[in-house]
Each structure stands twice: as structure tokens, then as C-alpha cells.
Structure 1
Amino acid sequence: MACTCPGRVHPGIAMIFVQIVFGGINIVYKLVINDGMSMRVAVAYRLLFGAAFLCPIALIVERNKRPKLTWVVFIQIFLVALVGGSIYHNLYLASLNLTSMTFAAAMYNLSPAFTYIVALFFRMETFSLDNARGIAKVAGTAICIGGAMLLTFYKGTDINIWHTKINLLKHHQNTVGSTKQQVMGMAIALIACVFYAFWVILQAKINKNYPCFYSSTALMSLMGSIQAIIYALCFDRKWSDWKLGWNIRLISVIYLGTLASGLNITLMAWCIAKRGPLFVAIYNPLMLLYAGGVLIIAGLYTVLWGKSKNSRNKNQLAVLPNNSDQESSGVAVSPRSNVNKDSAV
């Protein structure tokens, strides 16, 4: 018996929520990288926190619904964890480090095309230009990718509203160098897109054999975290590389683990079961809109907060001259007793 997703929500609404959460991933990654955290360690913590978040939920919600875990399903989940977990995230962050957020986002927007091609190879999608449905599917995919690429690469006029000391590209500006590095970064990003396409296809296979989304995602996160930890320990063996305190690193890995890897992957697995791999991949370009929207709203309220502070300061300064004028006007006010004495004389 298939396990159900919490709440009866429409798959489209679920994917919109998924992309809203994904919209903050690049920003969060840049914050931890600027703080000096290794990207490999960040991936390991992301998957580890995702497993810690989902395992209790899976044990409680699906305790009487899980089918028997066979070796075939176990190997499939292991491959999904490897393809869509540890390898994909490390490749994506490597491309982000070698190129820029712009190019990484642009390559990420190509994932629907790769997913469509891989789905055709596995006969999970059809290619047909003989009817309106087939034409709409092909044309819609191309238009969506083209619009996302245009939004990514088009550079308009820079608008400097205010100056801030926060620079998300502080370390990245030093890493982006030769054309060779950028080409290598773009090649790595393309490979990451291929791995993403295989992930959604394999996830669709798992949904048929093991249709419990919490349990499968928890196992995937657990196996992926073990893989990512082993890979990270090959390069980052110091305790300082892994230490988490009450700082931006802890907040970031909690966000990445619970929301990005925990809740989001569960919703994506459920949407794949409901509508197929291409349905999930086609929503990826929305991440650009939501990431930009978050920054715009944050900037708007920051400016409004600053203007309200300036208005308060101006009001306070406007009151001070009146008091100073009274004190410096040179008009001495005699005590009441002295006035009475003078009037008596």
C-alpha cells in the first residue's frame, strides 16, 4: 500500500514551495563559504541533518505502512543517494566555486532538458510532434529553459540604491580567474545536471518498489551523508573544519538539512510519483524568481527601516534647536522672590 504525503496538496503547489526553499540555497552556501566552511563539509552536514530530521518522522508516520526492504530497493536507494546526494551536491558546489552564481544557476536551469532526454531513454516520456499535447510539451520545455537562460544572462543597468558591507561574492571574486577555470566549471555543472536527471528517474523507480516517501528519503539522506562524510574526510580532517558553533554555519546546515534536503526531497519524491520526473524538473527555473524576490523584499524593507530611522533622528533634531534657543537667547528669568522684592520697593 502506498504511503501518502502529509496533507492533500496539489503537486504544483508542493513544487512551488520546493522552489521557494531552493531559492535560498545559493545564498546560504555563499554565507558559509564566506565564513570559511568547506563546501564538502557543508554537503556532509546537509545530508546528515536531513537524515536526523526525517528518520524519527519516518519511524512514527510510516511504522505500519513500510513494505519489506529488499536488496534491490536497498541498492537503488544507495545509487540514488550517490547520484542525487553526495556526487550531485559536490559537483554543483564545485561549479559554483569555479564559475559564479549566475552560471551555476543557468546550468541548473538546463536540468529539465536533460531530464526529458533521460526520461525518453528510459521510455518514461514520449516525443511526438503529431498532436497538440506533444508539441506543447516540447515547446513548453524549450520556452521555459529559454526564458530562464535569458533571465540569467541578461544584464541590465546597475541600480545602486544604498551601500552595504555585505558581499556574498567576497571570496568568489578571488576564485573566478582564467577562462580555463570557467570552462571547467561549466563542464562540471553540465555533468551535475546529468546526475540530477538520473536522480529523478531513479527516484521514480524507487517509488514503485518502495512507495514510502519519508522512509526512502531518510535512507537516501543517511546513505548520502555517509558517502559525503567519507569523501570530505579525504580532504578536511581538522576539527576546525567540522566544528559548529552558535553561528551562521549551524543556522545554514539546519536550513539545508531540514528544509532543502529533508522536507523538499520528500515532496519531490511524492510529486515524482504523482506526475512524473519531468513535472518536477520543469519547476527548477522558478528558483531564480524566488531567489531574486527574496533579495528584493529584503532590500525594500531594509531601505524602509533605514528611512524610518532617519525620520526619527530628524524629528529629534528638530526639537533640540527650540530648547537651545531658549537657553541662549540672553533673556534672564528672575526668580519669583526677586520680582516681589523689586515690586515692593
Structure 2
Amino acid sequence: MAGEGKPDGGWAAAAGEGVMLPASMVLVQLFSVVLVLLSKLALGAGMRPFALLAYRNLVGAVAVAPLAFVFERKHRKIPGIVEWCWISLNATFGVILSMGLYYYGLQSTSATYSVIFLNMIPIVTSIVATIFRVEKLVLRNWPGKAKLLGIITCVGGTMVVSFYKGKLLHHPWPSHLLKFHSHDESGPHAYHRNMVAGTLFLCGSCLGYAFWFIIQVRLAKVFPSRYWATTLTCLSGSLQAFVIGILINPTKSVWTIKWNLQLLTVVYSGVFNTGVSFVLMSWAVKHRGPIYPSMFNSLSLIAMVIMDSVLLGTSIFLGCILGTSFIIVGLYAFLLGKGTELKQAAAVQNTDNKQDNRDGTEQRGDEILRSIA
């Protein structure tokens, strides 16, 4: 009877993990949707992007620091000059460029339009990594062809969303529930100018994220404590955002946070999108690999199309639906190819490790025989 309990317990644990893992990733996407909506409202109400960025990362550092003290108590250390350089560089690309440019793009465009570019980050990262020869795009096998097809489809979908509106679609739900008005739009010419500038900001944000992911690989080698590195990156990013924000606009009122939507956005983004989401995504990557969290990105895109229309009154056009569909199909084609490549690389590495162990065992056996002789 005792021996039968273990398989049952293992099955129950596997079943629970099979439910909790996708549920946690859906929760992460929900956090992202709410954050984008709150950020759009806060920026539309007059909050400056670098003020939001500075306070958000300060709260994020406070949220992640306890995890570093609990899980990395024995491995935590004061970084040296080289480690500090990589942490500062990580903050520059991961906070200032990626998030900062994203907030400016979100301020000039719509929530739905900005989330489309968030879904393009894995594609842009792969292109940048291929250009700098961090990874290879092999077209001789089907995973490489699937990645290329996904890249082309995603880029095409983004171009459809950006340059083609099409017919205005009528939806059955009530819209504009939050009565949101952006005081930046003063006519069709201003709107077009904002969209062009916003698109450039969002493209720059994607590039910032791409370089950030590549830098994180190097940072993990020189400073492997993930929670401690995240805490220090948030602090460094917050400091950089304060300096840049004050140089842009030193007015005291810009940096004053009151008990309103701005404070809610700061606290929510720091706790949930930096703290809780980081833990959930780390757990998912540990059990399912680095591709697993990206597989749920389409949920935030679909949810944002609906919520942006319901809450903020953003019109839905046929071009948005077609382009979004292309992006989702292309993203999954790319992730399928990328995931297969990672599995093949892991299988080759396991084979090499087994061969090395076998060679080492044979060598030790020969040494024992020679010593006996």
C-alpha cells in the first residue's frame, strides 16, 4: 500500500502542475492587459513616462528584494565593477530604452496597437540575434523554415495593422465606459503625426527589448543570482529614469504622486508586473522551457482588442483584425520552429554528455588497469 501511494502522489502533482502552469501564464497575460490600460489612462491624464518608469522600478525593486533575501541568501554578493557595468547596461536597455520608448509609443497610439508590438518582441529578438550571430537561422530543416515563415507573417501582419484600416466593424458590447479622452489629439493631422511618432517609438522599444534579452544572457554568466540581479537592475533603471526625467522636465509637479490613478498604476506595475509576473514566468521557464511563456502572448492581444474598445472606446477596423490574425499565426509558427530547435539542441547536448561520461569511465578503467599492472 505504501508503494502505491507514490505513483498516485506523483500523478496528482503532475496533474496539478499541468493545470497551474497554464493558469499562471494566463494570469501573467491578465496582469499585462490591466497594466497597459492603467498606463494608457495615467499617461493620458498627464503623467510623464519617465516619472512612471522611475517609480515603477523603485516599487519593483522593493517587491523583488525579499525574494533575493529568501532564495539567494547564501549566494548574494556585492557586485564588482564588471558586474555593475553589466547591471547598468541591462537597466539601460531593459528599463530606459525598452519600457521608456514603449510608454512614449503607448502615449501616442492606442493600447491595442502598442500590444501588437509587444507580441513582435520574440521575432525582433531572433532577427537581431541572427544579425549579430548569437544564433543561426538554418533553412535546411523544417524548424528553420517555420521560423522564417513566422517572421515574414508577423512582419506582414504588423504592416497590415499599421497601413490598412479597412471597414469599421460594429461590435455588440458597449464602449467608452471609462470616458477616456486624450488631450494630445487635436485633429486628423495631429493624430497621423502621433501615430507615426508612436510607431517609431514602439519599433525602438522592440529593438531595446531584443538587445536586453541578449545582454541578460551575458549578465546571467557574470552574475548568476537572478533575483538579486533583478533587484539591482530595477534600482539602476529607476535612478537612470530619475536623472533623464529631471533633465527633460524638472518641474516638481511632474514628480508628485497623489492618491489617484497614477499611484495605483505605479504600485500595480511594480508589484504584479515586476514581482509576481517574474516569479510565475521563472517557474514556467524552469518546468516548460523558455518558449512556454511566449505561447500565451496572443491571449493579451485578443483581450486587449476587446478591452480597449469596451473601456477606452477605441474603434475596431477590419485591418486590425486581419493584421492581428496574421501576427498570431506567425508568432505560433515561429515559436513552433524555435521550440523544436531548442529540443534538438538539448538532445544533442545530452548525447554529448553521455558520450563524455562514457569516455571518462573508460579512461578511469584504463588507469585502474595500468595501476594494477
2:35 to 25, 31, 39: 25
Secondary structure of 1:203's match? helix
Cα distance in 2 for partners of 1:139, 1:67 equals 44
Q: Pairwise mapping of residues 1-345 of structure 1 onto structure 2 (< 5 A)?
A: 15-66=25-76, 69-143=79-153, 156-159=168-171, 161-162=173-174, 166-174=178-186, 177=190, 179-265=192-278, 275-276=289-290, 284-292=297-305
Cα distance in 1 for partners of 2:43, 2:124 equals 29
What does the per-residue CA deviation read over 1:85-136, in whole Å, with 9 as the maximum and x for residues that have no partner?
A: 0222221122223333344333333322210112213444321221122222
**Higher radius of gyration, 1 or 2:** 1
Give how far 1:145 is off. Answer: 5.6
Alpha carbons of 1:106 and 1:296: their partners in 2 closer, same or farther (altered >3 Å)? closer
Alpha carbons of 1:294 and 1:119: their partners in 2 closer, same or farther (altered >3 Å)? same
Once the two structures are overlaid, the 10-residue window that deviates more, 28-37 or 67-76, is 67-76
Higher helix share: 2
Q: Is the 8 A contact 2:117 2:206 kept in 1?
A: yes
Cα distance in 2 for partners of 1:115, 1:272 equals 18
Secondary structure of 1:234's match? helix
Alpha carbons of 1:65 and 1:267: their partners in 2 closer, same or farther (altered >3 Å)? farther
Once the two structures are overlaid, the 10-residue window that deviates more, 265-274 or 136-145, is 265-274
Q: Is the 8 A contact 1:148 1:285 kept in 2?
A: no
Cα distance in 1 for partners of 2:126, 2:238 equals 28
Alpha carbons of 1:292 and 1:245: their partners in 2 closer, same or farther (altered >3 Å)? same
Q: Is the 8 A contact 2:40 2:111 kept in 1?
A: no
Give how far 1:21 is off. Answer: 1.7
Secondary structure of 2:79's match? coil
Cα distance in 2 for partners of 1:121, 1:54 equals 34
Structure 1 length normalisation: TM-score?
0.70
Which amino acid letter does the alignment assign opposite residue 209 of structure 1?
V
Secondary structure of 2:74's match? coil
Give how far 1:226 is off. Answer: 0.4
Secondary structure of 2:196's match? helix
Which amino acid letter does the alignment assign opposite residue 261 of structure 2?
I
Q: Is the 8 A contact 1:45 1:225 kept in 2?
A: yes
Cα distance in 1 for partners of 2:218, 2:235 equals 19
Cα distance in 2 for partners of 1:203, 1:269 equals 14
Which amino acid letter does the alignment assign opposite residue 203 of structure 2?
L
Once the two structures are overlaid, the 10-residue window that deviates more, 133-142 or 46-55, is 133-142
Structure 1: runs of 5 or more not aligned: 1-6, 300-345
Alpha carbons of 1:279 and 1:8: their partners in 2 closer, same or farther (altered >3 Å)? closer
Alpha carbons of 1:73 and 1:204: their partners in 2 closer, same or farther (altered >3 Å)? same
Secondary structure of 2:190's match? coil
Q: Is the 8 A contact 1:214 1:266 kept in 2?
A: no
Cα distance in 1 for partners of 2:52, 2:129 equals 31
Alpha carbons of 1:171 and 1:269: their partners in 2 closer, same or farther (altered >3 Å)? farther
Which amino acid letter does the alignment assign opposite residue 33 of structure 2?
G
Once the two structures are overlaid, the 10-residue window that deviates more, 80-89 or 33-42, is 33-42
Alpha carbons of 1:236 and 1:56: their partners in 2 closer, same or farther (altered >3 Å)? farther
Secondary structure of 2:135's match? coil
Which amino acid letter does the alignment assign opposite residue 213 of structure 2?
V
- RMSD of aligned alpha carbons: 3.6
